[in-house]
Chains A and B, each alone.
Chain A
Amino acid sequence: MEKQEIEPSSHLSVIIDLSPTQWHLASLQNNNELQPQSSQQVLTFRSFITQTLAFLNSHLALKHENTLAVYGALPGKSVLLYSPTVPKSETEDISADANSYLPFKVLDNAVTTRIGEELDALRDEDEEAPCDLVGALTKSLCYINKLLTSTPATLDATTPPPEPRIVIMSVSPDQSASYIPLMNSIFSAQKLKVTIDVCKVFGPDAVFLQQAAYLTGGAYIYLERRDALLQHLMMTFLPPPSIRRLLVVPTQDKVDFRAACFCHKTIVDIGFVCSVCLSSTSPSKSVQFVSQKLMAYLLQFVQFSVNLSQSVQPVGTSIFLW
């Protein structure tokens, strides 16, 4: 084994949740209600962007071949904020600056100006709409798919394909409407061997994103000290997955895989599931109709033992020897 594998370069797609409502809430209150003993700093959006950009720059600095794409999830839509392939807009002036490394500057400029443009373009009534996280996620998967399929042709065979991963910076709560598309994205990420990492900056734990990180082998971090964002990012999300095997990265102990019943939205242990979804073959009926049918028939979880809710401790009870 004298032939050492060339370390693959790594591709990072970052999805930033840009919900104005949630960021506003985040700047007003800190997490004091969760940890009353620790007085914390309030993380403003500005300092969040600064710290994130520092993280992105260090990803680029880590290896020359590393690539980066930044997506923003805005209310009702998702946009690509930065990628090396997208032609830069002519308004940007990229003059050489003796004090900054050019790729960093290009990235910082692109991200900040694009975020500014997109937020300015938002109308007030749009701001309440839920963020299109799924759109951003599927777009980044399409991008990674293109990257993986096109790379072998351009590079020589000795260069391994880049290691792709996605980091989601989330502030919004889960939206139950996007559960199925989100799950579809997670499964395609599994197929492409893309690791999804989640950094929950603000708000309650996102169960869907916890599942996303668990199913793709990524890390889910709930930011307990929000002033330590950069440190969390550097320690947890900077090393690519192949290196993380050698490090101790926070893992999740409790991921809830129990399903919520579709009729009462309560978590059930044992339920009834319709074996076949009833839906219409007539094209005149819309998908909406089908999904109502689905609500009604497919997942009629009858609550059996809702209050059974077992806490995770029994040792003796789980041993069965026959």
Chain B
Amino acid sequence: MPPRKNDDYMEVASDDSLPSDVDEVYNGKSKGKGKGKATERKTREKGKSKNNEQPYAWEASYVRSWDTVQEDEAGSLQGAVEDLIARNRRRRLLAPSTAIRRTIIRHLVLVLDLSSSMMDRDMRPTRFDLMLEYARSFISEWFDQNPLGQIGIVGMRSGIAERIGEMSGNPQDVLKTISERHKLEPAGDPSLQNAVEMARGSMSHLPTHSSREIIIIFGSLTTVDPGNIHDTLDACVKDRIRIAVVALAAEMKICRDLCDKTGGSFGVALNDGHFKDLLFELIPPPAQRAVSRAAGAGAGTSNPTADLMMMGFPTRLPNTSAPALCVCHSDLKSEGFLCPRCSAKLCDVPTDCDICGLMIVSSPHLARSYHHLFPVKPYSAVVDGAKVSPSNACTGCSSSFSKSSASSTITDGVSPFGRYKCPDCKNDFCTDCDVFVHDVVHCCPGCGK
């Protein structure tokens, strides 16, 4: 167990409780505070299911990863795997199938805790190493789903905030800033206020149509602030910055307040897997909040349809064209893109033109964001043998279905025949294709929707 300081800040359950009590306190609290937001509900449910199996990471005895997967009586892992699939399916069914308004242009500042508490080994190898690893995969996945977004990185170390990476829309640039572990070596205490102020400052110039988000990965239980952090919080609310916190140690009142007041989500990671889940739930673009928008201080933005952004579509130069210097790195290169307004040569899109500030995108980048607006309808599990469609093979991968029902135990949302039916084209799909179509392709092979 890590040493605990500053008990007044903590709202977490006391240590003497058994793991099951921790469950109740944890769930009860989030229930009481939950405001019915979809994301929060999801988090809670996931927390609950994990909770039932395991206590907090620091309360658990040494867990071997191969112990967490249970074999069934026959000694096969099928049951455990199916459980995982079923959980994913249920989560997808919870999500609204109709299109909802989402922010497409996102700006995010990722705040990393680099205080000495990150060297704790309750998450292996250390919290710090795990955070870096997950942050890298988070950034790649985030850019994959939000191609028009930008990420900046701020670190909290020795009581001050450090700008680790400037706002950038290029995944490689962002990843490079956190690639060197020795430059990020944890030290001292974190300062939430400094970090949030720095993040807020770097987003102050942004236009109203883009979202402003801060994600804080917080491993400490203290914060060393120069002033009143509640003033900073009020300023964030005024600027409509959404703050989400993933805490690694325990719940702190101020973190909870930061999230609740700005409309973000708050979660305490129970273990490695839950940490990743919490972080990755922040990847899909948030649904637009009409209420806070009306309440926001922005003048004249009450009509959201009026938010039109000027964008430039560049001309691509082939790599056989005569080399010229690019404006972003001053490198002599043949290939590149020309800004349609000022004809400056840029290395990569999407970006803002360094000369005239026009947002440069290519049409595939726009197209890439569409699937958030038109999700594939969830397939329904075929439970009734009579409803099995005549075809013998999966419509997606053409692998044949097994004739008999495979699993004897009927789990919620899992078809005993391994068949899942598209509500539109009435074709049957296998489990693999169901997951693949909804998570990756976003387009039904049967009906093309």
B448 & A181 in contact (Cβ 8 Å cutoff): yes
Task: Please state if B345 and A319 are interface contacts (CB–CB under 8 Å).
Answer: yes
**Contact status A321-B330, CB under 8 Å:** yes
Q: Is A294's CB under 8 angstroms from B397's CB?
A: no
User: Given A142-B397, A317-B343, does the pair A276, B304 have CB atoms closer than 8 Å?
Assistant: yes
The reply to whether the CB of A183 lies closer than 8 angstroms to some CB of chain B is yes
B446 contact set on A, CB distance < 8 A: 135
Distance to closest chain A CB from B81 (angstroms)? 12
Q: Which of A178, A191, A215, A259 is within 8 Å of B366, CB to CB? A: A259
A93 shortest CB reach to chain B, Å: 22
**Bound form: Cα–Cα A300–B304 in Å:** 14
A184 to B448, CA, bound (A): 10
Task: Give the chain A neighbours of B105 by CB distance below 8 A.
Answer: 275
- A282 pairs with B98, CB closer than 8 A: yes
> Does B395 lie at the interface of the complex (its beta carbon under 8 Å from any beta carbon of A)?
yes
**Is A107 an interface position by the 8 A CB rule?**
no
Residues of A within 8 A of B314 (CB): 257-258
Determine if A270 and B358 form an interchain contact, defined as CB atoms under 8 angstroms apart.
yes
User: From residue 51 to 99 of chain A, which have CB atoms closer than 8 A to chain B?
Assistant: 78, 80, 83, 85-87
Chain A residues with a Cβ closer than 8 Å to the other chain, count: 76
Contact partners of A312 in chain B: CB under 8 A: 315, 317-318, 321
B311 contact set on A, CB distance < 8 A: 270-273
Whether A149 sits at the interface, judged by CB under 8 Å, is yes
Residue among B209, B288, B398 facing the most chain A CB atoms (10 A cut-off): B398
Whether the pair A276, B101 counts as a contact (CB closer than 8 A) is yes
On whether the beta carbons of A297 and B305 are closer than 8 Å, the reply is yes
8 Å CB contacts to B: which residues of A85-128?
A: 85-87
In the assembly, what is the distance between CA of A76 and CA of B7, in Å?
67
Within 8 Å by CB of A188, from B96, B400, B440, lies B440
Instruction: Please state if A143 and B393 are interface contacts (CB–CB under 8 Å).
Output: no
A277 touches B (CB below 8 Å): yes
> Is A198 at the interface (CB under 8 A from chain B)?
no
Contact B441 A185 (CB under 8 A): yes
The reply to whether A191 and B440 form a contact with Cβ atoms under 8 Å apart is yes
Q: Give chain A interface residues in 270-315, CB to chain B under 8 Å.
A: 270-283, 285, 287, 290-291, 294, 297, 299-300, 302, 305, 308, 310, 312-315
**A4 on interface, CB distance cutoff 8 Å:** no
Contacting pair A318 B104 (CB below 8 A): no
Q: A142-B433, A180-B374, A279-B101 are in contact. Are A270 and B310 (CB under 8 A)?
A: yes
Q: Across the interface, which residues of B come within 8 angstroms of A276, CB to CB?
A: 101-104, 209, 288, 304, 307
Q: How large is the interface on B (under 10, 10 to 19, 20 to 34, 35 or more residues)?
A: 35 or more
CA distance A143 to B97 in the complex (A): 26
Whole-angstrom CA separation of A317 from B320 in the bound complex:
17
- For residue A211, give the distance in angstroms from its CB to the closest CB of chain B: 6
**Contact between B305 and A268, CB atoms less than 8 A apart:** no
CB distance from B290 to the nearest CB of A (A): 10
| A residues less than 8 Å from B102 (CB atoms) | 276-277
Question: Could you tell me if B288 and A272 are in contact, using CB atoms closer than 8 angstroms?
Answer: no
Report whether B432 and A135 are in contact in the complex, using a CB–CB cutoff of 8 Å: no
Residues from chain A with Cβ under 8 Å of B319 in the complex: 253
Q: Is the CB of A320 within 8 A of B441?
A: no
Contact string against A for B residues 424-447, beta-carbon threshold 8 Å, 1 for contact and 0 otherwise:
000000101100110011111110
Contact A181 B449 (CB under 8 A): yes
Q: Which residues of B sit under 8 angstroms from A283, Cβ to Cβ? A: 97-98
Indicate with 1 or 0, residue by residue over A208-245, a CB within 8 angstroms of chain B CB atoms.
Answer: 00010001000000000000000000000000000000
A255 close to chain B: CB less than 8 A: yes
Complex CA gap A142/B396 in Å reads 5
Chain B residues with Cβ under 8 A from A300's Cβ? 308
- The residue in chain A whose Cβ has the minimal distance to the Cβ of B367 is A183
Tell me how far the C-beta of A81 lies from the nearest C-beta in chain B, rounded to whole angstroms.
Answer: 11
Contact indicator A314/B449 (Cβ below 8 Å): no
Query: In whole Å, how far is B73's beta carbon from the nearest beta carbon of chain A?
Result: 22
Chain B residues, Cβ within 8 Å of A282: 98
Q: Which residues of B contact A78 (CB under 8 A)?
A: 445
Question: In the bound complex, how far is the Cα of B355 from the Cα of A318, in angstroms?
Answer: 11
Q: A257-B363, A269-B340, A312-B318 are in contact. Are A278 and B101 (CB under 8 A)?
A: yes
Q: Is B371 positioned at the interface, with any CB of A under 8 Å from its CB?
A: yes
Q: Is there a chain B Cβ closer than 8 Å to A141's Cβ?
A: yes
Give the 10 A-B residue pairs with the shortest CB-CB distance, closest first.
Answer: A142-B396, A275-B209, A269-B340, A253-B318, A183-B367, A257-B362, A259-B363, A272-B308, A138-B445, A258-B313
19 contacts between A and B (CB under 8 A): A80-B398, A138-B437, A139-B396, A139-B445, A145-B440, A146-B433, A181-B443, A183-B367, A184-B443, A188-B442, A270-B313, A272-B309, A272-B310, A275-B210, A276-B307, A287-B374, A297-B305, A312-B317, A315-B321
